[in-house]
Amino acid sequence: KAGVTQTPRYLIKTRGQQVTLSCSPISGHRSVSWYQQTPGQGLQFLFEYFSETQRNKGNFPGRFSGRQFSNSRSEMNVSTLELGDSALYLCASSVSGGGYEQYFGPGTRLTVT
Amino acid sequence: TQLLEQSPQFLSIQEGENLTVYCNSSSVFSSLQWYRQEPGEGPVLLVTVVTGGEVKKLKRLTFQFGDARKDSSLHITAAQPGDTGLYLCAGAGGGGADGLTFGKGTHLIIQP
CA distance to A36, A39, A110, per residue, from A14 (Å) = 18, 21, 10
Task: Note whether A16 contacts B: Cβ–Cβ < 8 A.
Answer: no
> Which position has the higher pLDDT, A75 or A101?
A75
Distance CA A112, CA A1 (A): 34
Q: Which residue of A has its CA nearest to B31?
A: A99
Amino acid A98: pLDDT:
63
What is the distance in angstroms between the Cα of A74 and the nearest Cα belonging to chain B? 17
The residue ranges of DSSP E strands in chain B, in sequence order, are 5-7, 10-14, 19-24, 31-37, 44-49, 55-58, 61-65, 71-76, 85-92, 100-102, 106-111
β-pair partners for B92 = B31, B100
- Taking an 8 Å cut-off on Cβ atoms, the answer to whether B33 and A101 are in contact is yes
Segment B44-68 mean pLDDT: 94
Neighbours of B68 (CB within 10 A): 11
Q: Which residue of A has its CA nearest to B100?
A: A99
Which of A44, A100, A107 is opposite residue B42, by nearest beta carbon? Answer: A107
DSSP 3-state of B55: strand
Write the pLDDT tens digit of every residue in B6-48: 999 999 999 999 999 999 988 888 889 999 999 889 999 999 9
User: pLDDT tens digit string along A26-51?
Assistant: 999 999 999 999 988 899 999 999 99
The pLDDT score that the predictor gives to residue A99 is 65
Catalogue the E-assigned strands of chain A.
5-7, 10-13, 19-24, 31-38, 42-50, 53-57, 64-68, 74-78, 87-94, 103-104, 108-112
Chain A residues with CB under 8 Å of B101 CB are 45
Tell me if B42 and A104 make a contact (CB, 8 A cut-off).
Answer: yes
Cα angle, residue A104 at apex, residues A84 and A31 outer, rounded to 5°: 100
Q: Between residues 54 and 93 of chain A, which touch chain B (CB distance below 8 Å)?
A: 56, 58, 90, 92
